[in-house]
């Protein structure tokens, strides 16, 4: 059985980076959930920090350098993408946006893209819904219901890995992405999922979007 190709895009600027750490946790959880379904995944990590100059030059010349071309290929050839950005000024970083600007606008059509972000305070978590999700909706990607935001304080919170806190959000999002890859749709792998013909109350639909 052919392994899924999973591209992980991290826009963290520092080393080590909490953005990269969150990206790795999401990738590990997704690979594990796919393994539970008897499927394998190959993970390719794209560190945008290392491509910043190439991305800028691409805007000027119109041609990607070899490293950038390889990164673009990893994303466009992937079966699914995990995209993680730090939040700057209540939105995604310029580097994050610039990378997806140099990718063909049709390349992500129909592709599952799990979105996530990091920031210093939980107050910026809504940037995922008012900035990051609309970006990938515009690119016609399929974005799972759960977006994962990790504030600085979240890394020190234990939480039950299956029910709450950052570990719980990671597991829920990874399960939704794995379900999309397995062809079942994100609702099929979630507890309390809607069935065809069932009307889901608006309050429940809003709850499903919480990070």
Give the model confidence (pLDDT) of 168-206 as tens digits.
999 999 999 999 998 854 444 343 333 333 454 555 555
Cα–Cα distance measured from residue 153 to residue 147, given in angstroms and rounded to the nearest whole number: 18
Q: With beta carbons less than 8 A apart as the criterion, state whether 183 and 119 touch.
A: no
Q: With beta carbons less than 8 A apart as the criterion, state whether 80 and 43 touch.
A: no
Of 22, 5, 3, nearest to 128 (Cα)? 22
pTM for the whole structure: 0.83
Could you give the 3-state DSSP secondary structure of residue 82?
Answer: strand
DSSP label at residue 132:
I
Weakly modelled stretches of the chain, pLDDT under 70: 157-164, 184-211
Cα–Cα distance measured from residue 169 to residue 115, given in angstroms and rounded to the nearest whole number: 12
Cα–Cα distance measured from residue 176 to residue 114, given in angstroms and rounded to the nearest whole number: 9
Predicted pLDDT of residue 120: 85
Give the phi and the psi of residue 192 in degrees, each rounded to 5. 70, 25
Predicted pLDDT of residue 124: 83
Q: How far apart are the first and last CA of the chain?
A: 34
Predicted pLDDT of residue 42: 96
Looking only at Cα atoms, what is the longest distance across the chain?
52
Q: With beta carbons less than 8 A apart as the criterion, state whether 16 and 24 touch.
A: no
Predicted pLDDT of residue 195: 36
Of 180, 175, 145, nearest to 163 (Cα)? 175
Q: For residue 38, is it left (φ>0), alpha (ψ between -120 and 50) or beta?
A: left
């Amino acid at each position: 059985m052919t392994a899924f190709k999973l591209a992980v895009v991290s826009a963290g600027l520092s080393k080590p980076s909490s953005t990269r750490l969150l990206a790795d946790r999401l990738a590990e959880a997704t690979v594990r959930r796919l393994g539970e379904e008897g499927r394998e995944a190959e993970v390719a990590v794209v560190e945008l920090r290392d491509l910043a100059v190439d991305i800028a030059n691409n805007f000027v010349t119109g041609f990607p350098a070899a490293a950038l071309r390889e990164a673009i290929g990893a994303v466009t050839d992937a079966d699914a993408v995990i995209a993680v950005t730090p939040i700057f000024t209540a939105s995604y970083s310029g580097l994050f946006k610039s990378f997806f600007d140099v990718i063909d606008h049709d390349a992500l059509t129909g592709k599952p893209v799990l979105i996530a972000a990091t920031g210093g305070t939980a107050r910026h978590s809504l940037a995922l819904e008012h900035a990051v999700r609309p970006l990938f909706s515009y690119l016609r990607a399929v974005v799972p219901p759960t977006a994962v935001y990790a504030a600085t304080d979240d890394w020190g919170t234990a939480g039950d890995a299956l029910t709450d806190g950052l570990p719980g959000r990671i597991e829920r999002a990874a399960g939704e992405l794995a379900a999309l890859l397995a062809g079942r749709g994100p609702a099929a792998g979630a507890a309390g999922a809607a069935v065809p013909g069932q009307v889901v109350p608006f309050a429940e639909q809003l709850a499903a979007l919480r990070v």
